[in-house]
Each structure stands twice: as C-alpha cells, then as structure tokens.
Chains A and B, each alone.
Chain A
C-alpha cells in the first residue's frame, strides 16, 4: 500500500483494513489528525484525501491506496502558517485545540469548493465537526475572514490580540 502524505511518499506496512487515522498516527507518526470518537461523529480526524475532506478514522487503507493525503501538518507550520491556520489563530478560533485539525482542513476544502460561502453554507459544511469550547462563532468568523481575503502578517500573529487590553494600572 502506497500513500503520499504531505508530499512524501510512503510504503505502508499496516494491514489494508487499518484505518488511515491509525496508520498516519502509529506508523507514520503524523499526529495532527486526532483520535476523537472513532465513529465519524466528531470530525477531528479529518484529512484531505485527494483534496476532499474525509474522516480518516472511517477510511481503511485499502480505499486510499495511491491517494494523496494532506493533514494539518501539510497545510503549514507555526512559522509559515496557511492563511486558514493564521485566521484561526488571529480570531481565537481554537481554545483547547482538539477540534482544530479537522475544522481547519475541512474549512480549507470548503473554500476550494466555494470561495465565497455564506455564513449558512459554512455552518452546513462544518456541521459535522464538534467543538465544545468556542461556541463556533469565532471559527465561522475565521473562515469568513479568509474568504474575504484578509491576510495576517507575522507582526499581527506574534501580537497578543488582547495586548491592547493589558490590564489597567499596569505600573501602579
């Protein structure tokens, strides 16, 4: 079984019925996609298979032979973030971060398909991704910002957005 993960080709030793998620995490040590419910309900294991968002926990390796897989790691790094990652960072679209790998990959796929989604379309596209922290509002804000073409340079990223609200009486 051969798959390309984030640009690098791998010959896999895992049996063909191993889930893509387990193969990524256990055999290739790509731990961006998270092990959530393992039943396709929560969405945090989502990866892009040939550009399409897929639940990697439900995909046996046999079905992705020869496919090109992109995980959250393949989108960008902390130094060179994908615009969607930067937007999630800037808009506080992630709190504990457990849903973020799936949310971000699915959002990237959404904008590939539909570069100018309405708020309702974003809600429908990401409806299968569960987040218990943010209340979803800031995630939708982040996706909308990328769709609008907002960019976030390094200076903005290192700035604590709450920095402007540094407590009063700072040097009392």
Chain B
C-alpha cells in the first residue's frame, strides 16, 4: 500500500455578471460643500471588497484622494437599484456604474471651475483633489473650493452625478448568419488551476499539497483584495473538491449535514500551499480594464484535483466531492479489470445558434423588459 503523487490541470472561463440585459446597477454620487464625496450605490459588499474597490474607482475617476470618498451601502431601501452581489459582477457592473457617476461629477466640477478660473473646461484637469490648467499648474483651484463655491456662492448647487451600467441585449441583425450587433458578453475572465496531490491507495484519502492558480482578471484595482478572493476561492474550491456535498437527496435538504460537524467545510488545518499568478489582460468595457475574480476562483479546483487523482492512481472519479469511498470504489473497479473508460459528466457543447438565442434578442425593438415586481 502506498501513497501516490499526482498533478492535474483544469481551465475555466467565466462570464462577468448576467448578460441578457436586466442586470443593472445604479449609483449616485454627491460632492459635499467641503469636497468630501459620498457614493450611494446599490452594490452591497458581503466581504468581497467591492466597497473598497468602488472607493478607489471613484477617487481615480474623479481625481480626488481616496480618503475623501465614502461609500455608503448601509440602506438598500434608500440606495439606487442593484440586482445583487453575485456572478462576480460587483466590480465590473457596479464599478462601471460608480465610474460613470464619478465622471459626471468630474465634468460638472470642471465646468464650474472653468467659470471661476475663466478657462475653457476642456483645458482643465483634476489630480489629487486640485483642478488645474493643463500645462499651467499654477492656475489652479481645489475641488473642495469649487464645491464650496457651488454651494454657498453660485446658487446653492449640490454637485452630483448618477451612473447606470447595464449590458444591453445583443440584437440579431441577420437570422441567416446569426450576425449580432455587439459582443454579447460583457467580459470574459479566464483561469487555470493546478493541483498537486497525494492519494493513499489503502484509505482512498486525497490530500492536496499545493494549488497553483492563475487568473486573468483584466486589471487588479486592489491587488490585495484580489489575492484574498483567489485564496478564499481556492479554499472553497478545495471544499467542493474533497469535502462538501448536500447529501444524500440534493437539492432536498432532507437528512443532509445540518451543522459543520457533518457538513464539512475546509478548516485551517486543511490549508494547502497556494501559489497564484494574476494576469492582467484588460477588458474594453470594464472599469480601468477590470473583469471578474470572485466566483470563478472556486470553479477550477474540483476538476484539477480529479485530474490529479487520475495522474496519481489512474482512475477517473467522476462525481464531486472526491471522497475516500469514491476513490476506493474506482480503484476496486480498476483492480477487477472493470476499469471503466472515462465517464464524462454533462457535456456542454457550444452551439452557436443556442448561444446567440440565449444572449440576443431577435426582435430589434426589444424594450427593457426587466420588472423587479
């Protein structure tokens, strides 16, 4: 009886957010009279770090220090609309919404500053909270002074901007060829997971020693949060690969593990070495080129561990989680000469027609049909 080492690879592509219209985020930004920026966005941060990322996006798009920006997501009743925190959409869709709003605020600040400095707004720019003339930085005025003047001297204006981002339907221009008028997907992220494991052929136990994770996320707005998303996703993927299942009657909750003693989530002692690589291949539509890195970070570990088991002991275990029982049964079959050929799960074959119908609207006059009520 021995332990066998193996290594497996899986690759993932991940579409950001939902693409068939209807997945929108709105935001509203107000510039207070002292220059502080309040961002009201529908996006709720559930630990994914979107609040911090939005703060950075607004600061960068507006041209003020990050410290000036507050993101308030405390009340979903008072906030602008957002469909939710899912599908890795917060930075991409929510981030675009706050970026558009911030750009409108910036535009208005430049207009007012242009009047105050008697310069064409097109010749002005904002950096680090200061509006100045391009090429003549000595002609400048602080953003907080502009906001103050707008409030107290120029008629009491509250400088504000709204932003909405939604990926519209792709319209089918030609039924024959399926030609469509736009890229139907907002952005595609790509990832790969390599698992290095050890299988005990006596107990069927699989131990992951190391994961190597590579993700193309477009642009890392906050690299530390991206790191956290990838590490967190990897450990969640480890759970999906080896431990977690809603047995035995999924999706019925009957008789399934009701607590963490019977529904096993990975703990700190299960932690393998996690190495990762973050590739930045910017998206055309994403805020500063960002794509997504939330949900896809836990998609690759199941298949990469399964492939590594095949590499180690020569059997395909085709159901997740890859429990010792399933590994042993596969080994027994192999020993009995019933080594079943690789059984594929659900094959998702790319069907161009189905795909276009899923993301496209055949009727060119399709209106916005999403009704939250």
Which A residues are closer than 8 A to B by beta carbons? 37, 39, 41-42, 92, 95-97, 122-124, 126-140, 158, 160-163, 165-171
Contacts and interface: CB of A to CB of B under 8 A. Distances in A.
A162 B59 CA distance: 12
B261 interface: yes
B66 A128 contact: no
A136 B268 contact: yes
Contact of A124 (B125, B261, B269): B269
Contacts, number: 116
Contacts of B231: 134-138
Nearest to B127: A171
A130 B265 contact: yes
Contacts of B235: 135-136
Nearest to B222: A162
Contacts of A158: 67
B125 A165 contact: no
Nearest to A123: B268
Interface in B88-106: none
Nearest to B228: A92
Given A135-B236, A135-B274, A166 B56 contact: yes
A132 to B, nearest CB: 7
A88 to B, nearest CB: 12
B223 A134 contact: no
A37 B259 CA distance: 7
14 contacts: A39-B261, A97-B47, A123-B268, A126-B268, A127-B269, A130-B260, A134-B232, A136-B235, A137-B231, A137-B271, A140-B268, A165-B220, A170-B63, A170-B127
A163 B56 contact: yes
Contacts of A96: 46-47
Nearest to B106: A171
A104 to B, nearest CB: 14
Contact of A160 (B47, B55, B219, B233): B55
A166 B221 CA distance: 7
B271 A165 contact: no
A165 B222 CA distance: 6
A132 B56 contact: no
Given A96-B46, A171-B125, A134 B56 contact: no
Contacts of A135: 228, 230-236, 271, 274
B225 interface: yes
Contacts of B230: 135
Interface string B223-244: 1110110111111100000000
B125 A167 contact: no
B27 interface: no
Contacts of B47: 95-97, 133
A129 B260 CA distance: 10
B46 to A, nearest CB: 6
Contacts of B63: 170-171
A146 to B, nearest CB: 16
B233 to A, nearest CB: 7
Contacts of A97: 47
Contacts of B232: 95, 132-135
Contacts of A131: 268
Interface string B278-298: 000000000110000000000
Contacts of A171: 63, 125-127
B324 to A, nearest CB: 20
